[in-house]
């Protein structure tokens, strides 16, 4: 490890200490702990994240916190660019016991999921009224932007008001429009 790499690692560790003081422990453990600095060049620091989901989450919710904390520690402004690096401080090779079996195709994954989804429960067939307009809008936002809008989404209401209809409509929409996404529907 070069001297510059050691300095960068120390700078990032101190930055994470500042971040940790400003957020709750579960959030820190989930999103920040497994990040690592890769390089610094011309006022830009590349930070490794363990997954594209973690990268997108940090960019959309904590980019400003990271840059402000880094500036506080470094005494000058740096721009942070988050990148996906499977070798960042996520699960170590020793911790990986076995890889999950790979799906043969998207269609086989859908075939298993479709058994629990009712084809009649779609956004098109949902009857919108004054009491459920917001729930419908929120469900549609989740479907159009999975894992971003209203995350998590909680729907509460009496019997027969459309909770199952909306949740299954989200699942059907995501499976139809985002082939790279997975849906887990538990009832």
- Give the model confidence (pLDDT) of 24-36 as tens digits: 888 888 889 999 9
CATH number, domain of 143, equals 3.40.50.300
pLDDT in tens, 116-175: 788 899 999 999 887 888 899 889 989 888 878 777 888 888 888 899 999 999 999 998
> Which residue range is the domain that position 52 belongs to?
3-84
For residue 186, being part of any structural domain is answered with no
Total domain count, the chain: 2
Position 164 scores a pLDDT of 92
Is 113's pLDDT higher than 80? no
Q: What CATH number should be reported for the domain holding residue 30?
A: 3.30.300.180
The answer to whether residues 41 and 112 belong to one domain is no
Looking at the DSSP bridge assignments, the partners of residue 39 are 46
The rounded distance, in Å, linking the Cα atoms of 128 and 67 is: 43
Determine the pLDDT at residue 101.
52
* 185 is a domain residue: no
Residue 66 token pair: 């990271």
Domain contains 124: yes
Reported as a single tens digit per residue, the pLDDT across 52-89 is: 888 988 999 899 999 999 999 999 999 999 999 866 54
First to last CA, the chain: 51
Which pLDDT belongs to residue 27? 82
pTM of the predicted structure, to 2 decimals: 0.49
Separation CA 11–CA 144 (nearest Å): 38
SS3 133: helix
């Amino acid at each position: 490890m070069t001297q510059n790499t050691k300095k960068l690692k120390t700078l990032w560790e101190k930055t994470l200490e500042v971040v940790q003081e400003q957020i709750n422990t579960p959030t820190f453990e989930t999103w920040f702990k497994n990040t690592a600095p890769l390089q610094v060049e011309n006022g830009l620091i590349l930070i490794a994240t363990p997954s594209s989901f973690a990268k997108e989450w940090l960019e959309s919710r904590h980019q400003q916190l990271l840059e402000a904390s880094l500036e506080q520690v470094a005494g000058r402004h740096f721009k942070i660019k988050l990148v996906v690096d499977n070798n960042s401080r996520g699960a170590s090779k020793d911790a990986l016991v076995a890889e999950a079996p790979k799906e043969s195709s998207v269609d086989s994954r859908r075939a298993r999921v479709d058994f629990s989804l009712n084809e009649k429960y779609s956004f098109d067939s949902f009857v919108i009224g004054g009491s459920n307009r917001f729930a419908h809008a929120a469900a549609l936002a989740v479907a159009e932007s999975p894992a971003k809008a209203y995350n998590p989404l909680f729907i509460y209401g009496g019997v027969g008001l459309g909770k199952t209809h909306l949740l299954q409509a989200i699942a059907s929409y995501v499976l139809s429009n985002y082939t790279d996404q997975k849906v887990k529907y538990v009832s």
